[in-house]
Structure 1
Amino acid sequence: MATPPSKAGTKGVPRERRLQQMLEAATDEFGSRGYAAASLPAIAARVGVTKTLLHQYCGTKEDLYVACLEPVGERLLEAIRTAMGPGGTTPHTPLRVLHGIFTALEGRREAWFVLYDTTLPPGGEAARRAAVYWSAIDDLAAGGTAELLRAAGSRDPLDADALRYVWQDLVATLVRWWVKHPEQTPEAMTQRCARLFAAAATLAPEDHPG
């Protein structure tokens, strides 16, 4: 998953390609180590450029983080919105959302940890920008889980709030497991989730008359 050191910084590399290499290396670094522990010299070394050149291209560490954050945030939002669709939430929507998330992250799975980085300095631009994406994704989760409960006959707002928390933690846990199993494709992972959901459904208490 990590980007190995390369000769990418040598002369002759087009500017856009060099910038892309820097962003890929930075995504690896932020995703694997977290913002607080990430090192600009380490990122530069991954690409094969100097720290000075990295600054010239990408600005400060916070600027570089934001440049890595925005693509994954936009990809995930688009994937979730597309999976939810315009017709409302159905029992199949959770699996579609999960498949959309896995597909959006494939090839750059550590980007999930760039988006959900708990080491961001509070009050800074990085934390502010990340919070915008967190809030948008949370709003989609809240709307979708509430619709599922209404379809199941529950209008208790506490049920909706509890299910939202369960769903958010479930998604994060499944992504973390998937990152540790790189051989699992998005399609295979979605099928696995379908089996897990089916097994979980058997744990529901049966209705008894009276």
Structure 2
Amino acid sequence: MTAAPRTGTKGVPRAEREAQILEAALDELGRVGFAAASVAAIARGAGISKPMVYSYFGSKEGLYAACVDHAGSVVADEVERSAALGAVGLERGLLTVAGLTEALDGRPHLWRVLFDPTAPSVGPAAEAARRHTVRLHARAVEGVGEMLRLAGDTDPVDLDLMVQVWVGILDTVMRWWADHPDEGGAAVLARAERVVGALVDVR
């Protein structure tokens, strides 16, 4: 006999209610950041009471940790999927952007949730962010390292610098998109391809 799903308030299954709260929190956190985010505003967005948010996630920090883990999984899973396609050099970089603009279409604010400068530096949220950023950094080192080796460059300092350049470009594109959420993923990808193309084609 299959057990009935756990229910939350007014007969709403607990998993469904958690998803509603999480979605409202992701919107609020992506818009204003952790420091300025209001649990009351998140509760209103989810159509529930403020105490109910605490009953599900324990605290603002607990809710943020869940949001970071969700956003980090979406971003890091997609970057790893793109990396597994086997492209190298600039093609790999553009495939990464293409994958992210598809995965985050309609919700580019997830990038801001994961990389929030106002977030706690210790605790579960910080641990979740580190866990996913370690995955992202590993793929960046791998992809940039392949590109430099193809150019005959094996200098580890050059690798470190170029990883920072690549991460900076990607972060700028994604934050620009979060500032212009009306831009669809396909449009953002086209803009990124034009801008990056112009950079590498400068004579």
TM (norm. structure 2) is: 0.88
Separation in structure 2 between the aligned mates of residue 137 and residue 129 of structure 1, nearest angstrom: 13
Question: How many percent identity over aligned positions?
Answer: 38
SS of the residue aligned with 1:91? helix
Provide Cα deviations, 1:126-147, integer angstroms capped at 9, x if missing partner. Answer: 1122111112211111111111
1:144 and 1:125, CA in 2 relative to 1: closer, same or farther beyond 3 A?
Answer: same
Deviation at 1:197, TM superposition (A): 1.9
Q: CA RMSD in A?
A: 1.9
8 Å contact 1:10–1:49 — kept in the other structure?
A: no
What's the counterpart of residue 46 of structure 2?
47
Provide Cα deviations, 1:134-181, integer angstroms capped at 9, x if missing partner. Answer: 122111111111110111221121221111101111111111211233
Q: How many residues align?
A: 196
Provide Cα deviations, 1:33-67, integer angstroms capped at 9, x if missing partner. Answer: 21122121121122221111111122211211111
Q: Write out aligned runs for 1:1-210 (5 A).
A: 11=10, 13-85=12-84, 87=86, 89-204=88-203
Deviation at 1:86, TM superposition (A): 5.5
Deviation at 1:89, TM superposition (A): 2.3
8 Å contact 2:66–2:125 — kept in the other structure?
A: no
Separation in structure 2 between the aligned mates of residue 15 and residue 155 of structure 1, nearest angstrom: 52
1:119 and 1:182, CA in 2 relative to 1: closer, same or farther beyond 3 A?
Answer: closer
Separation in structure 1 between the aligned mates of residue 34 and residue 123 of structure 2, nearest angstrom: 12
Q: Where do 5+ consecutive residues of structure 2 fail to align?
A: 1-7
8 Å contact 2:65–2:126 — kept in the other structure?
A: no
Separation in structure 2 between the aligned mates of residue 41 and residue 183 of structure 1, nearest angstrom: 26
Q: Which moves more between the two structures, 94-103 or 47-56?
A: 47-56
Q: Where do 5+ consecutive residues of structure 1 fail to align?
A: 1-8, 205-210
8 Å contact 2:31–2:109 — kept in the other structure?
A: yes
1:76 and 1:45, CA in 2 relative to 1: closer, same or farther beyond 3 A?
Answer: same
